[in-house]
Each structure stands twice: as structure tokens, then as C-alpha cells.
Amino acid sequence: MQETRQNKIARLLQKELSVIFQEQTRSMHGVMVSVTRTKISPDLSVCTAYLSIFPSERGQELLGNIEQNVKSIRFALGQRVRNQLRIVPELRFFIDDSLDYIDRIDELLKRPTPTPSPNGGE
């Protein structure tokens, strides 16, 4: 029962954080931040959000900027979910580099493989 509630709240927070980041990055041309996944602690006090940042070269810079502004992000989130949640959870952000990992695997798979010599390596 508790896990179902956690999942619903995590989805709500993911949706609302996505909207907040979309509004914030609209003025920054060529930058896109999306919330790929959120997890909420069992006591609903901590929300861990995984962010996909494009271009990935600016990921650490933007993550640092987000962490500096976590209070204003939490306030904006509180304004959006004040009718659904009593307490707005503490926010923690991490970069989700799974897309970069997938691209790297694709790149490695597309490389031509060395063909073994017909003599068995002699």
C-alpha cells in the first residue's frame, strides 16, 4: 500500500519538476533539462531526481547551478503541489547519464571488428 503511494507521489513530482525546468530553460537557447526518474523516500521527506541534460558537456555546470538554486526550485514545486502534499520533500539532483552510456555502447557496436586470419593467428 505504501509503495503505491510513493510511486504516485514520485510521478507527480517528476511531472511538476519537468514543467519547472522547462520554464526555466526556455530562455537558455540550446539547453534542455528533463527529469528522467524520481524516487521518494518511504517517509516522503526526500525526493531524488535524475536529470538528463542536453548538451551533456554542460551537465556538471548546469547541475551545479541547479544545486545552488535548490531552495527556489523547492519553493516553486511547493506552489505547484500545495493541494496534493502537506510537506514538500527535500530535493536531491543527480545526472542521469544512461543516454550517454547507450550512445557509447552503440558506437562500440558499430565499429568494424577485426577479422581473424584464416591460419588461426599464425
> In the prediction, which pLDDT does 122 show?
53
Give pLDDT tens digits for 2-55. 689 999 999 999 999 999 999 888 888 888 888 999 999 999 999 999 998 888
Instruction: Please work out, in degrees rounded to the nearest 5, the angle formed at the alpha carbon of residue 58 by the alpha carbons of 105 and 39.
Output: 70
Q: Which three cell numbers stand for residue 45?
A: 521527506
Q: Where are the beta strands (DSSP E) in 1-122?
A: 32-40, 46-54, 90-95
Q: Are 24 and 80 in contact (CB under 8 A)?
A: no
pTM score, whole prediction: 0.77
| Amino acid at position 8, single letter | K
CA dist 32 and 25 (Å) reads: 6
Tell me the pLDDT band of 121, cut-offs 50, 70 and 90.
low
CA dist 30 and 25 (Å) reads: 9
> In the prediction, which pLDDT does 107 show?
83
56 alpha-carbon distance from chain centroid = 12
Nearest CA among 40, 57, 23, 19 for reference residue 92:
40
